[in-house]
Amino acid sequence: MQKIVLTACLGLSVLSAQAQLNVDLLYQNDYPENMSNIWGWTAPGGEEYVILGSFDGTYLIDITDPSSPDELQFIDGNNSTWRQIAVWDHYAYVVNESGGGLLCIDLSGLPGTAAYAFSDADGAGLTTAHQVWADENGYVYVFGSNLDGGSSVILNANADPMDPPMVGSTDTWYVHHGFARGDTLYESNIYQGWFSVWDVSDKSMPVLLATQETPGTFTHNVVPSDNGQFLFTTDEKSNGSLAAYDISDLSDIQYQSEFRANPGTSSIPHYAWYFDGFVVTAWYKDGVIITDATHPEFMIKTGYYDTHPGSGSGFSGAWGCYPYFPSGTLVVSDISEGFFVLHPTYVHASFVEGTITDSDSGLPVFGATASLLTLSGTTVSSSLDGGYITGAVADGIYTLEVSKAGYATASIPVSLSAGVTLAEDILLEPVTATCESPVILGASSITSSSAYLDWTNVGADQYSVIYKKVGGSGTIHTTTATNYLATGLESCSTYKWAVRASCPDGSKKKSVFGTFFTGGASCRDGALTVVEDISVFPNPAADIITVVVADEADITSLLVLDVLGNMVLQATVSADNFGMVQLDCSALAAGSYRIIAETGEQFFTAPLQVIH
């Protein structure tokens, strides 16, 4: 028996400065080897134990006193980066990807010595696996093993808990992780990019009920809510997300929302677990994240502890977590930083929800934007029935702003309280005011690299101004002013420019194009460029090309045809492109092609040569 005191003092002083919200550090131990997954077991007497996987083997740790854990036993095993754990009754089951079979541990001997054995599933030949789960009925599900193509292999621990025999498998797709409860099995089919749901009432013959693709199409793990209405998934990839689905009707699974711990950092989620209305996720470099999932259609981060000094993408940091101890203690395994014992305070977020309706017609408004001003991450769009929900971490009085083109923006003060969902229906008043096309007043103060552009005020909500060198690419900027300073121009060049007004009723009005010429000491006579009907550059090209037409109308369709006249590529054309569209032709074979651009009024065509 060994008291783990190596970093209990120094670690607390250093790590207490790490980023945290509603989670306190009780203890941390930086083991010399890398850690993998973690799980827990509570003895009949209330003692709490951790089963911790590492590169070298498995640790059994008493955390009944969470500030002074007691390492009870180490079970050596094949060296493996992946060591995953499940618990049923007083038995722990551990798998790895390097061999040795299923490690079966009888935890009832703790705090003394736990008996253990290595099993091949009663002669089935089980040697390696990626993950393991044990349900409440004594069935052990082994995922990503050397048996049956890595599908879900089902073992019956009731028959022999130290050498459970194989009784069935899904035998369909490779499974990265799974969760079984009652007669239902949820699989993460990572390489298919979806989760699948199975009826396992007959363990020898599972029946597929449904599949559902996840946002990142790299489905890593699955966990249902306690009532089984919702399923939460993680996609283990850069900028991956925690996603929520309503699975109450498996014939019509409904996506609810997705959540990212720190948007813009490309961080990667790993293992998520549902606990009493929250989802607790080991999120690699972001540490452990607690998300209020009261409303799966809008999840909010209400707690976190950053176990890892780095940030962003990459497969280092928090591997696993276990939030199910009766004491409320939360334990986390970090690949390089070791073993963490935390005390979380589960705080519910504050929500506001309602229906957005057209004040004249009484019909729901779809696609309206609702947000709490000054708070990032609160912007949502109303659903087909006009419904919306948003919220905040902290209590307070906020301004709820609701807007949509063609309607007057509504701003409503709302008083939000933790754990409360405020009902706030919104009436949007239609706006009929339109505006005229802006008139360009000309370019002034022209230098070799800049020009001041002016146009008339037509009462628009905002203006989009484009300027582009003739035969070159263009730049679009939005402003609420009626002038713009164009910078970064090339000397001795002819530029075209125009303005589009976004009117209060949602319509758009565009000016005619104007031109100006940038001077410069080195300009030659006749430097004014002749405008071609259509320009394609670069040409020849290997990847991205820019297509520009001289017509004032937007390009509405852009196609690439081969020498036989077959369409081989079609561009995704956005609105307000001012006759300029970019196209990626890197997938085309080297050769000759023809560009066809349509503006709605006429067609333009030009040759294209692709090289590699």
Structure confidence at residue 530 (pLDDT):
39
| Residues 539, 530: Cα–Cα separation, whole Å | 18
The mean pLDDT value of the chain amounts to 91
200 residue type, one letter: V
pLDDT at 529: 40
Over range 453-475, report the average pLDDT. 87
What per-residue confidence (pLDDT) applies to 165?
A: 99
Contact status, residue 500 vs residue 464, Cβ threshold 8 Å = yes
Cα gap 176→217, rounded to integer Å: 13
Cβ atoms of residues 352 and 397 within 8 Å: no
Who has greater pLDDT, 66 or 492? 66
Taken in order of first residue, the domains within the chain and their CATH numbers are 35-269+288-301 (2.130.10.10), 350-428 (2.60.40.1120), 440-517 (2.60.40.10), 534-610 (2.60.40.1220)
User: What CA–CA distance (Å, rounded) separates 226 from 232?
Assistant: 11
What pLDDT score does 293 carry? 98
Give the alpha-carbon dihedral of 503, 506, 510, 516, to 10 degrees. Answer: 70
At 94-143, the pLDDT tens digits run: 999 999 999 999 999 999 999 999 999 999 999 999 999 999 999 999 99
Residue 587 is predicted with a pLDDT of 87
In angstroms and rounded to an integer, the radius of gyration of the C-alpha atoms of the chain is: 31
pTM: 0.74
pLDDT band at 17 (very low <50, low <70, confident <90, very high): very low
Look at 219 and 440; give whichever has higher pLDDT. 219
For residue 491, pLDDT over 90 is answered with: no
pLDDT of residue 197: 99
**What are the start-end ranges of the E strands in 387-506?**
387-392, 396-403, 410-416, 421-423, 426-428, 440-444, 451-455, 462-469, 474-479, 483-486, 494-502
CA gap 579, 466 in Å, rounded: 10
Percentage of residues in the chain with pLDDT exceeding 70?
A: 93
Determine the Cα–Cα distance for residues 536 and 592; give it in Å rounded to an integer: 13
Where is pLDDT greater, at 566 or 252? 252
Top pLDDT among 221 and 582 is at: 221
Phi and psi torsions of 183, nearest 5°: -105, 20
Each residue's pLDDT tens digit, 163-172 = 999 999 999 9
What's the whole-number mean pLDDT along residues 451-458? 90
How many Cβ atoms sit within 10 Å of the Cβ of residue 487? 10
Q: pLDDT digits over 319-328, tens only?
A: 999 999 999 9
Three-class SS state of 148: helix
**DSSP assignment string, 464-481:** EEEEEETTS-EEEEEESS
Residue 461, pLDDT score:
87
Average pLDDT over residues 14-28: 78
Q: Which of 70-79, 97-106, 447-456 has the lowest mean pLDDT?
A: 447-456
In the predicted model, is pLDDT for residue 332 greater than 50? yes
Q: Which residue in the block uniquely carries the two structure tokens 């939030």?
A: 323
pLDDT band at 552 (very low <50, low <70, confident <90, very high): low
Cβ 22 vs Cβ 301: under 8 Å: no
Confidence of residue 8 (pLDDT cuts 50, 70, 90): very low
- CA 521 to chain CA centroid, Å, is 52
Confidence of residue 65 (pLDDT cuts 50, 70, 90): very high
**pLDDT number for residue 23:** 98
